[in-house]
Amino acid sequence: MASSTAPASHTFTSTNPGETEPEIILYDLGCTKNICFSPVVWRIRLMLNYKKIPYKTIFLEFPDIESTLKPL
């Protein structure tokens, strides 16, 4: 079973000194060969980047989805 503690692939860098960590966490399926295959998440990521909304991405493997997201 793969670990779900993969580092975030996108971290928004702010020029404002008072800005804190992003409040939005984008959960995505684990990538293979640097190609993410979830088109729904692609659209969300595209819009967040376009609007320059800070977020971080957490990649999950299929077996880890339920145990990670159920407490939310």
Domain boundary assignment for the chain: 24-69
pLDDT higher for 31 or 7? Answer: 31
With beta carbons less than 8 A apart as the criterion, state whether 6 and 32 touch.
no
Q: Does domain 24-69 have CATH number 3.40.50.620?
A: no
pLDDT higher for 8 or 57? Answer: 57
What is the C-alpha end-to-end distance of the chain, expressed in Å?
21
Query: For tokens 């957490």, what's the residue?
Result: 58
**Percentage of residues in the chain with pLDDT exceeding 70?**
71
Res 9: pLDDT: 43
Token digits of residue 57: 């991405």
Quote the radius of gyration of the chain (alpha carbons, Å): 13
Residues 4, 63: Cα–Cα separation, whole Å = 9
- pTM exceeding 0.75: no
Banded model confidence at residue 18, pLDDT cuts 50, 70, 90: low
